Amino acid sequence: MSRPDDAAVPTRALCALDGLNFTLADVRDGLGPYLAIYLLAVRGPDGGWNEATIGLVMTIAGIAGLLAQTPAGALIDRTRHKRAVVVAAALAVTASCLLLPFISGFYAVAATQSLAGIAGAVFPPALAAITLGVVGPRAFSRRIGRNEAFNHAGNAVSAGLAAGTALLFGPVVVFWIMGALAVLSIIAVMMVPAGAIDDELARGMEHGEGEAEEAPSGWRALAGNRPLVVFAGLMAAFHLANAAMLPSVGQLLTKVVGKEDATSLVAGCIVAAQCVMVPVAMLVGAKADAWGRKPLFLAGFGVLALRGVLYTLSSNPWWLMGVQLLDGVGAGVFGALFPVVVADLTRGTGRFNVSQGAIATAQGLGAALSASLAGAVIVGAGYSAAFLVLGGIAAAGFLGYLFLMPETRDSAAHAGLPPGGCAAPMQAAAGG
């Protein structure tokens, strides 16, 4: 399968993809762990905020986001204006976050973060679709690894800025950093030439196949593909275990060191993990075709389980930051492989993005429940118990992937591909 004109991918498009993934890194996830820090440190118990209420808000926002996942994937499959969709979503996420310093009520906070969750559902399928439409399927795994490396580098830089400036301006500074990055991400996505995006390839179609039959809902697409069903369940387990770990560490740090230093320390945790994710994502993207997807995903689940156990051994800030380095392995593997496995399982169907959306709905449900689960366990039994529960879920996911999930690599479809980087434009049809 190749791009129809056998033309080199424009250097401008590849450079713009690098810039888009770098600048959109913080915007695509909203406030993330900073929301817990801000509400606990700035609003606090006097404002009606504790671990349980914070977890509930994060769960509500997560549910709103997960309900939007499948429609977002279907939208990306059908639209020929993918760049405009990314711009609109970036503006919505940023606006919802910039409102937060000016509101304090539970329902208002929940509403703004729900809006951010809904808009944020657009980014993963849109970025994957634009990438697939630009480079084609044969270079997709390598290019996704590069995308994730730039995404993690962007997270590291923005977290580093937050760590340094929060000492001077307080936790509110993360809102202004996000606003600036949103503007840069809009510039980056508009630098991707519209003509460089092949909309048929972007939704998983092969040229010459004609139009796919009328697209089913995301759940119907899942139900007809058993490996996709298994993969959806495993991704839900991964996020159920992973999503609440860093916010819980942030809340623990707030208790240990006080609100003045908690934001900077959490930002330091993020920087440390992102610095690990960059080489991990590049390695996974480069080796996924040679090594296969399954061993790499098993490593991600195993490291996540180990991380949950290690958090219980000490509440020393430096220990917690050291353990957080392991997040770089699990998240680096997941980010680089998730769209690749979905592309493997949906190749030629024209339903790549709606399938991404359906699976993202399942994993979003896991992430949404994670915050409430961890918050309830923390209030009832303490932080160590919460980390052990989350680590146990990751261990169950490891066993599930080992015994239930097949290897999805199609080794015959990939050979000798250039990395698709900014500095080296490539023939999308290279190698046949």
Q: Taking 60 as the threshold, does the pLDDT of residue 416 lie above it?
A: no
Q: What is the pTM (predicted TM-score) of this model? A: 0.75
Average pLDDT value for the chain = 81
Average pLDDT for 350-374: 84
The pLDDT tens digits for 192-234 are 988 888 888 888 776 545 454 445 455 565 666 788 889 999 9
Question: How far apart are alpha carbons 358 and 360 in whole angstroms?
Answer: 5
Q: Is residue 432 part of a domain?
A: no
Find all residues with CB under 8 Å of 403, minimum gap 6, and list them.
none
Q: Is residue 2 part of a domain?
A: no
Q: Taking 50 as the threshold, does the pLDDT of residue 89 lie above it?
A: yes
Domain count, the chain: 1
The highest-confidence range among 37-41, 234-238, 336-340, 379-383, by mean pLDDT, is: 234-238
Q: Is residue 211 part of a domain?
A: no
- Tell me the residue range of the domain where 36 lies: 11-199+217-411
Question: How far apart are alpha carbons 369 and 238 in whole angstroms?
Answer: 12
Q: Is residue 420 part of a domain?
A: no
Question: Structure tokens of 316?
Answer: 């020393």
Q: Is residue 417 part of a domain?
A: no
The pLDDT tens digits for 152-174 are 788 778 777 877 777 777 767 77
Question: Structure tokens of 147?
Answer: 């995308």
Average pLDDT for 44-56: 74
The pLDDT tens digits for 125-138 are 999 999 999 988 88
CB–CB of 356/235 below 8 Å? no
Confidence band (pLDDT; 50, 70, 90) for 1? Answer: very low
Q: Is residue 422 part of a domain?
A: no
CATH number at residue 373: 1.20.1250.20
Of 59, 34, 30, nearest to 375 by C-alpha is 59
The pLDDT tens digits for 177-201 are 877 888 888 999 999 988 888 888 8
Q: What pLDDT is recorded for position 48?
A: 67
Q: Is residue 431 part of a domain?
A: no
Q: Is residue 419 part of a domain?
A: no
